[in-house]
């Protein structure tokens, strides 16, 4: 049977999320105590993890840098100009991977600052997300059932 494109795309997205999450933060530092950044824009993780007891533990992992951009408090003309320039570049297909990331960040900020979601909209989105997860599971079960039925039909 032909593979289900919808299920494949959902599974690919989920796998990408897991891979990014697994590689971005080393497992020995997943529970490390880190103070929230106040004015810093970057945080460099040392080769030793800081545990809640504040006792350094040796780590075999390399240092990584986590860059956290501060969200703007208002959407100004400078951000709008940058957003439009990057959106035009995306529409023309002349945008780099780094610029795609920046465009996504600007898009999130724009949505939050210009037209923030109400509580009802947030709850509705959460319900949609749960329904999509259930639908993915049901579609996957259906595809497996159809494949099993096709195999038993082909065997007879």
Taking only the tens place, the pLDDT of each residue in 34-90 is 444 444 444 444 444 444 444 455 556 667 676 666 778 888 999 999 999 999 999
Instruction: Look at residues 44, 43, 48 and name the one whose alpha carbon lies nearest to residue 29.
Output: 48
- In this prediction the pTM is 0.39
Distances (CA, A) of 28 to 35, 46, 49, 66, 67: 17, 12, 7, 16, 20
Question: What is 91-104 written as a DSSP string?
Answer: HHT---HHHHHHHH
Taking only the tens place, the pLDDT of each residue in 12-33 is 666 566 555 655 555 555 554 4
Taking only the tens place, the pLDDT of each residue in 114-125 is 888 889 998 999
Query: What does the block give as tokens for 130?
Result: 């749960």
Which pLDDT does position 6 carry in this prediction?
A: 60
Half-sphere exposure of 153 (CA within 13 A, CB side): 7
């Amino acid at each position: 049977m032909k593979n289900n494109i919808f299920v494949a795309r959902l599974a690919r997205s989920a796998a990408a999320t897991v891979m990014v999450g697994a590689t971005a933060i080393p497992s020995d530092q997943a529970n490390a105590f880190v103070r929230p950044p106040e004015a810093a824009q970057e945080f460099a993780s040392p080769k030793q993890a800081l545990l809640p007891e504040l006792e350094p533990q040796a780590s075999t992992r390399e240092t990584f840098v986590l860059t956290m951009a501060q969200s703007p408090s208002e959407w100004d003309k400078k951000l709008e100009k940058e957003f439009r320039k990057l959106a035009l570049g995306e529409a023309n297909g002349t945008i780099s991977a780094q610029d795609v990331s920046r465009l996504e960040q600007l898009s999130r900020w724009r949505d939050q600052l210009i037209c923030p979601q109400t509580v009802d909209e947030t709850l509705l989105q959460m319900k949609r997300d749960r329904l999509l997860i259930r639908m993915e599971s049901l579609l996957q079960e259906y595809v497996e059932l159809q494949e099993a039925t096709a195999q038993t039909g082909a065997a007879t």
